[in-house]
Amino acid sequence: MKLTSQKELVQFLKFFQELVAEGRTDLSIEQALELWRQPCPCPNDPDSTLAALREAIVDMKAEDQGISIEQFNRELVEQRSRRADVKRSES
């Protein structure tokens, strides 16, 4: 479990605390670190970013409120957790 800086350690600690707050006490530190290091679903892809922004503008014009940042974060943690579960089961 090698982290390269104090800043990374603080970021990981925050992520780990969020996992615990979500009830993910079944993960080891190593599993949580692997989950934390998984790449974002849209890494630097301007086309998908632009498409997502256009879709959001259409939704806003239709008065769609979207979801709160808290709900987004919960869903992101759950998604990452499921990917980690699948990865573990494949091992």
Q: What is the pLDDT of residue 41?
A: 54
The whole-number pLDDT of residue 9 equals: 83
Q: Is 3's pLDDT higher than 70?
A: no
Residues 48-86 have pLDDT tens digits of 777 877 888 888 888 887 777 788 888 888 888 888 777
Q: Which residue ranges make up each domain of the chain?
A: 6-90
Q: What's this model's pTM, rounded to 2 decimal places?
A: 0.41
Tokens of 58: 């259409």
Q: Could you read off the pLDDT of 6-41 as tens digits, one per residue? A: 888 888 888 888 888 888 888 888 888 888 887 655
